[in-house]
Chains A and B, each alone.
Chain A
């Protein structure tokens, strides 16, 4: 057990942060230059590639927000309204399966749906609703957003569900008995107690969104570069320190998000104690 933990720390966790070091060391091909410099980041700014970071963060924030707005009420319904165990199991299955699907296969099908000769355009043309195919459906921001929403929705729902399921029904009843409207109960009881789940869900959605390498390339048509594409294309051209620079930026974002999760857990614990005292 401890041996496994040690192997894990040395063989997995240590390598996972190695890009931080490489990005300040620099490299020529696969050879490391053992001099410390910030050249990687200077080049990133001077070449204007930092825009990739801004763009990716923007898209990841947008899609996470959509997933949160749609996912929170769904998780609430799942946790407090669904009584039938078989329905619950069915929904859990539906939420689990996306983890086990081939990303490029499930993404490339969108081309057959959204393309100029695709399903949507062919159907609309046949119905004579449009006279020429809609161009912006594929290889646009729209298709990238559409391709990203589905696969990461379960990542948002699952942690929120797990947090809401833990909220005692007596607490909600007490809030109602004291005259709180459902909206007030939601705002003052449910949301504060579900906050760790909300933050965890946001992390589990935002992080893979930030690192998605498949959807923007297949559905965006390579018009706009995203973080994962930048890492991949830099490493294909053997610019490993540049790739490590972008990887470091992603790791930094992850660290900030994890810190906020830690903060949210402490807040929730404090309010749980408060709620207990009030009871």
Chain B
């Protein structure tokens, strides 16, 4: 039997702990909100300033759509955007094919998975400028190739592939290989098994891989700076304007507000696709 004073002591202690936990939780959330604000504040502000008459003034307003209309008259951004989209689509296609090829096999391998995974994910831990510089040194200085669209596709692919593979693995790890065996028992050939069973079940992963590739390529800068040759992408255009205190800042705000909107919508789709449980599972 616990005595009275001991009980109140334990009780008070528990109360104090509960209060401390509450305070800690609240502090955590406040700090996290502040940091989230550091991420999203600038993006929201970019959009606000893009419809403000004087985007370089402190307080926004009067509001206008003149800068967006200006996008039609000043079309220097058009070519970089076309190049960016072209490259992003190529990287996206590459990511879909390679992430599917690697991602569907990795979970079924018995040995060497760790080594292969580490090799494919290695670019995640190499700073962007190092990859950009090293690709330039290797392909231009050692092998003598000319830089251009292909090298941009290559560095963007190096950047995007680990993310595409992770997205693919989230889905393919849930894939039940017994389904293929069952199909084989029921008389389905290899192609039939691939098209009718693997493809529909792994589609979410492949689509996510493609979207990761597209989005990461569309906004890639640090690697591109070293290997662009004579090709200009939109982030390179933005970068040149941003560092030279150029006169196109309002234009940059408009364009990047639009790109941020596309990024947000596509990221939401990605997370939803990956979070979706396969039917019946």
Q: What residues of chain A have their CB less than 8 Å away from a CB belonging to chain B?
A: 1, 4-5, 8-9, 11-19, 22, 27, 30-32, 70, 73-74, 76-77, 81, 85, 89, 92-94, 96-110, 112-113, 115, 117-123, 126, 146, 149-151, 153-154, 181-182, 203-204, 207-208, 210-214, 217-218, 227-228, 231-232, 235, 240, 243-244, 247, 250-251, 254, 257-258
CA gap between A34 and B158 in the complex, in Å: 28
> Across the interface, do B260 and A77 meet the contact criterion of CB distance under 8 Å?
no
> Interface size of B by Cβ–Cβ distance < 8 Å?
85
> Across the interface, do B271 and A182 meet the contact criterion of CB distance under 8 Å?
no
CA gap between A81 and B29 in the complex, in Å: 12
Chain B residues near A106 (CB, 8 Å)?
Answer: 42-43, 46, 256, 260
> Across the interface, do B43 and A77 meet the contact criterion of CB distance under 8 Å?
no
B119 within 8 A of A: yes
B274 CB, min distance to chain A CBs, angstroms: 9
> Across the interface, do B119 and A8 meet the contact criterion of CB distance under 8 Å?
yes
A265 CB, min distance to chain B CBs, angstroms: 11
> Across the interface, do B271 and A218 meet the contact criterion of CB distance under 8 Å?
no
> Across the interface, do A27 and B141 meet the contact criterion of CB distance under 8 Å?
yes
> Across the interface, do A19 and B130 meet the contact criterion of CB distance under 8 Å?
yes
Q: 8 nearest interchain CB pairs? A: A211-B127, A122-B58, A150-B38, A15-B138, A105-B256, A100-B263, A73-B28, A150-B39
> Across the interface, do A100 and B59 meet the contact criterion of CB distance under 8 Å?
no
> Across the interface, do A22 and B39 meet the contact criterion of CB distance under 8 Å?
no
CA gap between A251 and B235 in the complex, in Å: 25
A–B pairs, 22, beta carbons within 8 Å: A16-B126, A73-B31, A89-B271, A94-B36, A99-B216, A100-B266, A102-B259, A104-B239, A105-B259, A106-B260, A107-B242, A108-B252, A109-B253, A118-B58, A122-B58, A151-B39, A207-B126, A211-B130, A214-B222, A228-B222, A240-B141, A254-B126
B87 CB, min distance to chain A CBs, angstroms: 14
B9 CB, min distance to chain A CBs, angstroms: 13
CA gap between A251 and B125 in the complex, in Å: 9
B188 within 8 A of A: no
Chain B residues near A105 (CB, 8 Å)?
Answer: 46, 238, 242, 252-253, 256, 259-260
CA gap between A266 and B56 in the complex, in Å: 53
> Across the interface, do A77 and B25 meet the contact criterion of CB distance under 8 Å?
yes
B17 within 8 A of A: yes
> Across the interface, do A15 and B120 meet the contact criterion of CB distance under 8 Å?
no
Q: Which of A100, A151, A181, A258 contacts B216 (CB 8 A)?
A: A100
B173 within 8 A of A: no
> Across the interface, do A15 and B135 meet the contact criterion of CB distance under 8 Å?
yes
Q: 11 extra interchain contacts, Cβ-Cβ under 8 A, other than A102-B219, A250-B130, A251-B130?
A: A16-B123, A18-B137, A102-B234, A115-B58, A149-B38, A153-B39, A211-B128, A213-B221, A228-B222, A247-B129, A258-B125
A211 — nearest CB in chain B belongs to which residue?
B127
Known contacts A9-B119, A93-B267; A214/B221 CB under 8 A: yes
> Across the interface, do B268 and A93 meet the contact criterion of CB distance under 8 Å?
yes
> Across the interface, do B122 and A112 meet the contact criterion of CB distance under 8 Å?
no
With a 10 A CB-CB cut-off, give which of B138, B154, B163, B259 has the most chain A CB atoms.
B138
> Across the interface, do A113 and B42 meet the contact criterion of CB distance under 8 Å?
yes
> Across the interface, do B17 and A182 meet the contact criterion of CB distance under 8 Å?
yes
Tally of A-B residue pairs with Cβ under 8 A? Answer: 245
B105 within 8 A of A: yes
CA gap between A217 and B141 in the complex, in Å: 27
Chain A residues near B38 (CB, 8 Å)?
Answer: 146, 149-150, 153
Which residues between 10 and 43 of chain B lie within 8 Å of chain A, taking CB atoms? 17, 20-21, 24-25, 27-29, 31-32, 35-36, 38-43
A148 — nearest CB in chain B belongs to which residue?
B38
Chain A residues near B225 (CB, 8 Å)?
Answer: 213, 232
Known contacts A123-B58, A250-B127; A244/B266 CB under 8 A: no
> Across the interface, do B238 and A70 meet the contact criterion of CB distance under 8 Å?
no
> Across the interface, do B263 and A97 meet the contact criterion of CB distance under 8 Å?
yes
CA gap between A112 and B158 in the complex, in Å: 33
Q: Which of B133, B256, B266 contacts A102 (CB 8 A)?
A: B256
B69 within 8 A of A: no
> Across the interface, do A232 and B252 meet the contact criterion of CB distance under 8 Å?
no
> Across the interface, do A121 and B137 meet the contact criterion of CB distance under 8 Å?
no
Chain B residues near A117 (CB, 8 Å)?
Answer: 56-58
A6 CB, min distance to chain B CBs, angstroms: 10
A258 — nearest CB in chain B belongs to which residue?
B125
> Across the interface, do B137 and A244 meet the contact criterion of CB distance under 8 Å?
yes
Q: Which of B29, B158, B253 contacts A77 (CB 8 A)?
A: B29
> Across the interface, do B221 and A104 meet the contact criterion of CB distance under 8 Å?
yes
CA gap between A76 and B32 in the complex, in Å: 12
B264 within 8 A of A: yes
> Across the interface, do B101 and A213 meet the contact criterion of CB distance under 8 Å?
no
CA gap between A240 and B154 in the complex, in Å: 20
CA gap between A243 and B137 in the complex, in Å: 10
Chain B residues near A250 (CB, 8 Å)?
Answer: 127, 129-130
CA gap between A227 and B222 in the complex, in Å: 13
> Across the interface, do B42 and A218 meet the contact criterion of CB distance under 8 Å?
no
Chain A residues near B158 (CB, 8 Å)?
Answer: 12
> Across the interface, do B137 and A5 meet the contact criterion of CB distance under 8 Å?
no
B259 — nearest CB in chain A belongs to which residue?
A102
